[in-house]
Structure 1
Amino acid sequence: MLKIGLLGAGRIGRVHAVNIAGHAATTLAAVSDVNEEAAQSLAAAYGARALGTDAILADASIDAVLIATSTDTHSDLIEKATAAGKAVLCEKPVDLSLERAKACLAKTADSGKPVMIGFNRRFDPNFAAVRAALSAGDIGKAELLSITSFDPAPPPVSYIKVSGGLFRDMMIHDFDMANFMMGGAPASIHAVGTSIVDPAIGAAGDVDTAVVTLTYTDGRIAVIKNSRRAVYGYDQRLELLGSEGLLSAANILENTVSKATKAGVTSAKPEFFFLERYMRAYAIEWDAFVSSIVNGTPLPVSLEDGIAALALAEAATQSAKSGQPVKLAL
């Protein structure tokens, strides 16, 4: 049984706590958070201890940590955890700074401890099935990828100011998905972003609506569309056109009931937010991490994968500001 330390008792930390405690091979041993009351409450719910982060890292009985703290702490905690002999699953992104993320990779490369980055969408059964079908040759060679990712409503501006911006905070999931589907990074990226949902987001220096085009050395193209507002729910779709066919993954709806009358045909809305939409993906992600640790197999999402997605986010930010395509140098 692996003993796990959870660093971060916020919204996503609580999601991970469910999966850690519910897995047959792991137990939630300790929880830390800057909000001590939150840590104590979550720890008590699962019979764990509420400790400081340093105490968790110093505890030799804890085998691995899951980092679900604020982004600006990720690189430091990855380095400290691996130095303490812990395996690590860290929420995305690795850092807000690409250079800092690369430094983290360099510092942890020789630790011998595995570091997995939490791009949970790779583990969504529908997106994973698309990737498996592509790998099996079902549609020939991938040629054109389209990813749609719309949030139901924008976050508060207070969050926007510390998030690193839409490309690093929101679209980074889609950059990783593009890398996952296309088998690697593009040669160039061209981004366009505006603030039409909430003027306060623009005033904070960010965008809330964006379209990015990724171009690959062999001529393949990927298009990513993001918006902070889709009033009908959490819109998560993917379409992949290949030389011999098309693969697509549609939204998960609130229910499967449809109504057909002479007035038309209606169905349910997409599930409202990521907690509902990706709950199963988070559970599969945790199982994949545990299986890799127990069996010694390569992690399905590496620290290098996290850096590759962050490099795209940084390039997109530059492109959106300059209005010009940016070449990738990974």
Structure 2
Amino acid sequence: MISALTMGLAGVGRIGTSHAETLKHLPGVDTVVVADADAERAYAAAGKLGVEAVADIDVLLAAPLDGLIIATATDSHPELITRAVDAGIPVFCEKPVAADIQGTLDVITRLENSTVPVQIGFQRRFDVGYRAARDAIASGSLGWLHTLRATTLDPAPPPAEYVGRSGGLFRDCGVHDFDIIRWVTGREVVEVYATGANRGEEFFAAAGDVDTAAVLLRLDDDSLATVSLSRYNGAGYDVRLEALGSLGNAVVGLDDRAPLTSVEPDYAPSGLPAYPGFMERFRRAYTDELAAFLSVATGDLESPCTPSDALKAFYIAEACELSRREGRPVTVAEVRH
């Protein structure tokens, strides 16, 4: 039974602060301790949240923790994951495991002989809609799948400094779609064709990135998936998945807050505001994800998203980037190390 757990959290940016707030309300959590590269920011966040803080992440890792949540900058993930595992501390780390494939492989190699669990944060796996779609596909009620259509459209672009270190639209944003397509179907992606465009701010092109992209994926059973990505969806945050089968379909994200404007004369809009961003759209999923991690940390549940799972989604993102740059279909096998 989960009880009296002490959970550490590294990084008190937006997602880290939200995780700390969630953790302190989860049954079984007794203490939440936060740290950040900026000690002042850590103590300020702790004061607002009503949790504990320590001077730096080194002090945090030396504390008697039942689990560690990593919500720091990507380049710190490999070191923090391996240090925590070496200390016997179960880890939850926001994606990605590392900034590139080789870094991810290095972490996985380091963890090969360890029994300490590591969970990577792909919160869509805990969303009730995606879970229902997965169940529908597995049940056979949709028949055989011929097409999946995934959408991740941000209402406004992130800051230029973020774009420069994000890894690009496919690795930063599309990777969630790639992971969830694998997860809901139970199939692997074998080939991609990706293209992109820049009609927005110049800092995307300056960073070698695109602000909008379209991807075609071929799965290993010959079903097809499309993924639409954009940083400029002014109508609101739009994340959906359509699973279209020979007998029926399942649609995730089609609710009264979906930022879709029908021009049909008899359609009556809900009047509810669109989701402004991912935190609001996936609030329940984030909570359920961290609740699952508590069970992982206590040994009651195997990791529902391992570093190897994250690597498979990263391979697809890497193949998309290569396809966009070279203007050709790319097999996922081409980018595997």
Aligned partner of 1:285 in structure 2 is: 289
Separation in 1 of the partners of 2:254 and 2:39? 38
Aligned partner of 1:302 in structure 2 is: 306
Aligned partner of 1:55 in structure 2 is: 59
SS of equivalent residue, structure 2 residue 196: strand
Q: Shift of the alpha carbon at 1:254?
A: 4.6
Distance 1:207 1:244, change over 3 A: same
- The answer to whether 1:235 aligns with 2:238 is yes
TM-score, structure 1 normalization: 0.93
Aligned partner of 1:152 in structure 2 is: 155
Deviations 1:171-196 (A, max 9, x none): 11111111112213211111101111
Q: Shift of the alpha carbon at 1:143?
A: 2.4
Separation in 1 of the partners of 2:158 and 2:312? 25
Q: Shift of the alpha carbon at 1:295?
A: 4.3
CA-based RMSD of the aligned residues comes to 2.1
TM-score, structure 2 normalization: 0.92
AA aligned opposite 2:294 = V
Q: How does 1:106-185 map to 2 (within 5 A)?
A: 106-185=109-188
- The answer to whether 1:323 aligns with 2:327 is yes
Q: How does 1:49-88 map to 2 (within 5 A)?
A: 49-59=53-63, 61-88=64-91
Aligned partner of 2:45 in structure 1 is: 42
Aligned partner of 2:94 in structure 1 is: 91
Q: Shift of the alpha carbon at 1:308?
A: 0.8
Show structure 1 runs of 5+ residues with no match: 256-261
Could you tell me whether the CA contact under 8 Å between 2:93 and 2:120 is conserved in 1?
A: yes
Distance 1:264 1:280, change over 3 A: closer
Separation in 1 of the partners of 2:196 and 2:305? 28
Could you tell me whether the CA contact under 8 Å between 2:236 and 2:276 is conserved in 1?
A: yes
Separation in 2 of the partners of 1:86 and 1:222? 38
81-90 or 215-224: bigger deviation:
215-224
Separation in 2 of the partners of 1:87 and 1:303? 13
Aligned partner of 1:259 in structure 2 is: none
Q: How does 1:11-22 map to 2 (within 5 A)?
A: 11-22=14-25
AA aligned opposite 1:102 = L
Distance 1:51 1:211, change over 3 A: same
AA aligned opposite 2:114 = S
Aligned partner of 1:29 in structure 2 is: 32
Separation in 1 of the partners of 2:274 and 2:254? 6
Show structure 2 runs of 5+ residues with no match: 259-264
Separation in 2 of the partners of 1:117 and 1:33? 20
Query: How many residues are matched?
Result: 327
Q: Shift of the alpha carbon at 1:263?
A: 8.4
Q: Shift of the alpha carbon at 1:204?
A: 2.1
Distance 1:266 1:252, change over 3 A: closer
Q: Shift of the alpha carbon at 1:25?
A: 1.5
Identity of aligned residues (%): 37
Deviations 1:179-224 (A, max 9, x none): 1122132111111011112232112211010011111232111110
317-326 or 40-49: bigger deviation:
40-49
AA aligned opposite 1:288 = A
AA aligned opposite 2:296 = S
AA aligned opposite 1:308 = K
Could you tell me whether the CA contact under 8 Å between 1:179 and 1:185 is conserved in 2?
A: yes
